[in-house]
Structure 1
């Protein structure tokens, strides 16, 4: 009798175990997910920009000194480059901002102006008018300094954030706060608060934990992202996502998921994307494992690494190439 009970108990345990495994599979398999019909959402990093080798890059590397041979005449973070990106098929353009000496927001990548321009010093020590006088194409070279193809062509090209917003009144932007100053988050919140709810639906802000936290306190309905918001969402999701539960911290935010991390998320890709869509969160896939600098999907060969039928967001440094690919496939 005892032996019979042991056998029965063991069979029951295995049966329950198999039921749980079946539930997890059925609840997270993308094969059984609701079909996603849309094309991927294309995020153009810095607009149409000059790209560069990522080998050995560090935080203080001057990337303008290591660009590839130019294939176009656009410079990053400028209105012409953003205009070209949208025409090439970008759904959203990422841009970088720094506060200026006269409390405007300059659209420029670097903490200092030394690398790209003919100026010296910290970007925030200049007024917006002074920054416009700099030649932002001055430091670009593809041959180790033998030639500088963009010198003299970048004067008055650095825009303010206000100029960008006025030039593109309806387009979507991902604004990158480059400092980790909480005051800058509050200043950006004050600036963005003048826009309508409809306009702000197309604006997302990301950056350091402190400025994003201070901005979010001022504008709780604005979509934001930082390392802290990513952790607040994904750590509990990894623990409970197998049930289909989406933590509240995942609502109304943006997630940048490295391609090598994606497969470890419950329901990746389609179930995960559907769950995030349901809580108004945008998912962008980026290249590598998250340790690289701004690695994206920049060629047709890169796109082949995407999961079959992937229709979430894609981070790209070459919207001029990737946009054409999706335009052709759409037709």
Structure 2
């Protein structure tokens, strides 16, 4: 009996040692360089994030502005890249005249002087709107951007033309598979090298369509994020990468990262081998995957020498700390 116990203990130790060697980041090659910074919505006006709901008008709860940039505009995107962003995220909606409008909200009522569902309007109509109309930091007493952003809602082709060699993340706001088909047609008309610099995320149905029709564009959806991370936590110790993590944008909440086998370097290497890009988000607490690494304290929680992606709503501040800000 004693011999059997010793043999069993030896096997257990050997297996544990094998799992450790296969997964420790200490023995993994370190990818050098600075982190890849993603500016969520470009440089945007910040707002009170407490008790947010899906239909909360964030423009009406803007914090006192420290700059005059508005999200999802060419000017904001350009400033983001100049501030140190490697990639900018933008939101799109199909329009009734066959375009894609770059705008965050499902309706235009909150931010603009228009009314109605964004995707039920023509791009010609959307181009007439003042996209700074609804912003206020004092409960409606003043509107500092009114009249200053008429006609500034861009189309997706305008963004692609303005930044022909820049990395972009396109957010599909709907769950309409048909929208994914339309977006895939736009992407497939681009050169292969340009498509490689574009990623798509959003609703499961449109993203699945883009993934099928434009297989060289890396994608992620809410369901795919869960499938990728849960699957990897479950059996990533084997070295196997879940299918949802392949050719993907892998979004990792910073409080989930320590649970990933081989975090950080071995995990980053495995994702790179799967043609996937990793971006760390702010802590996940059961809500939306949109909080960012927005404070020095959160940035300090990343491992020293981390060279993967960082998702942030505060590109100017984070770029400076990360050593990628303006000279």
**Interval of TM-score (by shorter of Structure 1 and Structure 2):** over 0.9
Could you say which residue in structure 1 is the equivalent of 2:19?
24
Instruction: Note closer, same or farther for the CA distance 1:330–1:275 as it changes in structure 2 (3 Å cut).
Output: farther
3-state SS of 1:327 partner: coil
**Alignment map for 1:215-294 (pairs within 5 Å):** 215-289=210-284, 291-293=286-288, 294=290
Matches within 5 A, 1:128-143: 128-143=123-138
* Alignment-derived partner of residue 89 in structure 2: 94
SS at match of 2:161: helix
Conservation of the 8 A alpha-carbon contact between 2:81 and 2:87: yes
Distance 1:249 1:58 in 2: 28
Could you tell me the TM-score, scaled by structure 1's length? 0.94
- TM-aligned CA deviation for residue 329 of structure 1: 8.8
Does the 8 Å CA contact 2:83/2:325 hold for their aligned counterparts?
Answer: no
Q: Return the alpha-carbon distance in structure 2 between the equivalents of residues 187 and 106 of structure 1.
A: 13
Larger Rg: 1
Kept in 2, the 8 Å contact 1:258–1:290? The answer is: no
4+ residue runs over 4 A deviation: 328-331
Following superposition, the deviation at residue 232 of structure 1 comes to 3.8
Number of residue pairs matched? 326
Q: Distance in 2 between matches of 1:32 and 1:102?
A: 55
Asked if residue 320 in structure 1 is aligned to residue 316 in structure 2, the reply is yes
Segments of structure 2 that go 5 or more residues without pairing to the other structure are: none
**2:44 matched residue in structure 1:** 49
Alpha-carbon distance, 1:297 to partner? 1.2
Q: 1:243 and 1:301 mapped to 2: Cα distance?
A: 33
Shift of 1:290: 5.1
Moved more, 28-37 or 313-322: 28-37
SS across alignment from 2:322? helix
For the aligned residue pairs, the C-alpha RMSD in angstroms reads 1.6
Identify the range of structure 1 (218-227 vs 205-214) with the bigger mean alpha-carbon deviation.
218-227
The 1-side partners of 2:320 and 2:93 are apart by: 32
Aligned mates of 1:53, 1:63 — CA distance in 2: 8
**1:128: how far off?**
0.8
Task: Give how far 1:221 is off.
Answer: 2.1
Q: Distance in 2 between matches of 1:249 and 1:303?
A: 27
Q: Which residue, out of 295, 301, 307, partners 2:297?
A: 301
> Are the equivalent residues in 1 in contact too, given 2:319–2:325 (CA < 8 A)?
no
Shift of 1:43: 0.5
1:165 pairs, out of 149, 157, 160, with 160
TM-score normalised by L of structure 2: 0.95
